[in-house]
Structure 1
Amino acid sequence: MSIQPYTTTETLGFGRRWLMNTFGSRTNETITVDLTAFDETLHWTEGSAHQPQRKLKSGIPLGYNTTTKLYEPYSPVTNEVQTATITGGPTGGTFTLTFSGQTTTALAYNATAAAVQTALEALSNVNPGDIKVTGNAGGPYTLTFGGQYLGDNVASATATASFTGGTSPGVTMATTTAGGTATASDGTQKFAGFLYAEVAFYPGETKSEAALMVHGQVNPKYLPVAFDPADVPAGSNTQIIYKTA
């Protein structure tokens, strides 16, 4: 037998900041979530060598995928996707990205996607999970917005290059998907409820049983992802209440 300590990011019962009142909140539905549909940092946190279990955050708004018959993150509208493409084949130099008035530190012409994401997350207006960057070293880089910018039509980032070599090298920015302009069609565009409790799972697992909260009072300010209270259907038992203090 091997017994390992388990550390949770929330206390049991009344430890969820986003849950304002426990009255009726335990009247939940047992569901199965598609773990592959959730993103690291935004939806779950990585484990450690001694505690390898990942933790899916409680309070995530969920929708039901009518094709897979599994629950996924609620997706009422598209998230903004922008692309940064380095042109002209530079062999040296740096570039910066500017988003909403904030500019990153200089990035190498062949920077990795992880380096670009780290530089963006160092900005005062970007939190971990707000912008996910993917792509090969040297680009093109795909910037997918989430977190506080979930479903928002954000302003386009701009780029400034100081490259050497190549032929008229530079960085072009393009919006490939405008945020907030379209909805999913797989069922997840309909809000179903909130993930009631933190879910622990191991790397490689694709599904997990969970509790869907369909009754209770929620403070959206403390939810792990951005949520519009207007998305709760009329007549729903879930009450969205803003707390000013």
Structure 2
Amino acid sequence: MELTLRTETWGTDDKSWLGSRHGIGECPSVTLDISTFTQAVHYPDGYFKSGIALGKITATGKYGPYASQTNEVQSVTVTGTPTGGTFTLTWSGQTTAAIPYNATAAQVLAALQALSNIGDNDVAVTGGPAPGSAFAVTFKGVLGGTDVAAMTASGAGLTGGSSPNVTIGTTTAGGANPAASDGTQTLAGFLYAPVPYPASGDVDVVGAMLDHGKVVNAKLPVPVDAAGQTDVAGRIIFY
């Protein structure tokens, strides 16, 4: 008689996203609509990962992935091919120090972060250098996910070239995810424990949802921008 040895491997789900144990004793049971999740993102190993942000689907009362809000992106373009001088940017009543005509993204970022109403983690700048390439300024952190005020600019300090100036445009409007209107645009909580993907493909899968506690945003398995964090203010604390 030949015996076959079967080996099974068990692991511990990563809960580094959980900032504290506060609140986990009150995790409500929720039903996941598995048709709204993406395998490669949410259950690549055959189970829904703990820490997935959830939103409640209004029509069914079931839960799907939270449709995170959109961070606003504004463009800054130095026009007229100046050969010297400086320009400034103004946001919400605050004006930057002079920025060189041929600035890099790092220099524009430093100028914006020096404003009293923009924190170190509230904007990101890519693109450039000027005047040949535009800059993309993304509002994130506490300014993420909102329809922020448009920047204005002054090119009065630019010299040379042909009528040098600075133009501002909105590349991506910030605010609620325009593709979500089913209820998942509001953050409800986080899947607390991993849930196996059902072999039958049944959409009625029950899991525990953390809706009261502390969350380390940077360690979540699926990123959640700062915008949605205010949806559960007072119940979930992010840091």
The TM-score range, normalised by the shorter chain, is 0.5 to 0.7
Query: 1:54 corresponds to which residue?
Result: none
Candidates 101, 115, 121, aligned match of 1:129: 121
Instruction: Tell me by how many angstroms 1:217 deviates.
Output: 1.9
How far, CA to CA, are the matches of 1:168 and 1:156 in structure 2?
Answer: 23
Query: 2:138 corresponds to which residue?
Result: 144
Structure 2 alignment gaps of length 5 or more = 1-15, 29-35, 43-51, 54-64, 193-206, 219-225
Cα distance per residue 1:75-114 (max 9 Å; x no partner): 5322111101110000101011111111111110110001
Structure 1 alignment gaps of length 5 or more = 1-11, 28-63, 197-211, 233-238
Structure 1 pair 219–109 and aligned structure 2 pair: CA distance change class (3 A) = same
Structure 1 pair 81–213 and aligned structure 2 pair: CA distance change class (3 A) = farther
Structure 1 pair 228–219 and aligned structure 2 pair: CA distance change class (3 A) = same
Query: 1:96 corresponds to which residue?
Result: 88
How far, CA to CA, are the matches of 1:97 and 1:87 in structure 2?
Answer: 14
Instruction: Tell me by how many angstroms 1:65 deviates.
Output: 6.0
Q: Does 1:175 align with 2:174?
A: no
Query: 1:24 corresponds to which residue?
Result: 25
How far, CA to CA, are the matches of 2:74 and 2:97 in structure 1?
Answer: 19
Question: Of the two, which has the highest radius of gyration?
Answer: 2
How far, CA to CA, are the matches of 2:145 and 2:191 in structure 1?
Answer: 19
How far, CA to CA, are the matches of 1:163 and 1:66 in structure 2?
Answer: 50
| One-letter amino acid matched to 1:68 | A
How far, CA to CA, are the matches of 2:140 and 2:70 in structure 1?
Answer: 10
Instruction: Tell me by how many angstroms 1:150 deviates.
Output: 1.3
How far, CA to CA, are the matches of 2:190 and 2:87 in structure 1?
Answer: 41
Candidates 77, 101, 118, aligned match of 1:85: 77
Percent sequence identity over aligned pairs = 45
Structure 1 pair 195–147 and aligned structure 2 pair: CA distance change class (3 A) = farther
How far, CA to CA, are the matches of 1:20 and 1:101 in structure 2?
Answer: 42
Which has more strand, going by share of residues? 1
TM-score by length of 1: 0.55
3-state SS of the aligned residue for 1:68?
A: helix
Query: 1:164 corresponds to which residue?
Result: 159
Question: Following TM superposition, where does structure 1 have runs of at least 4 consecutive aligned residues deviating by more than 6 angstroms?
Answer: none
RMSD of aligned residue pairs (Cα, Å): 4.0
Structure 1 pair 191–121 and aligned structure 2 pair: CA distance change class (3 A) = same
| One-letter amino acid matched to 2:170 | T
Which has more helix, going by share of residues? 2
Structure 1 pair 218–89 and aligned structure 2 pair: CA distance change class (3 A) = same
TM-score by length of 2: 0.57
3-state SS of the aligned residue for 2:40?
A: coil
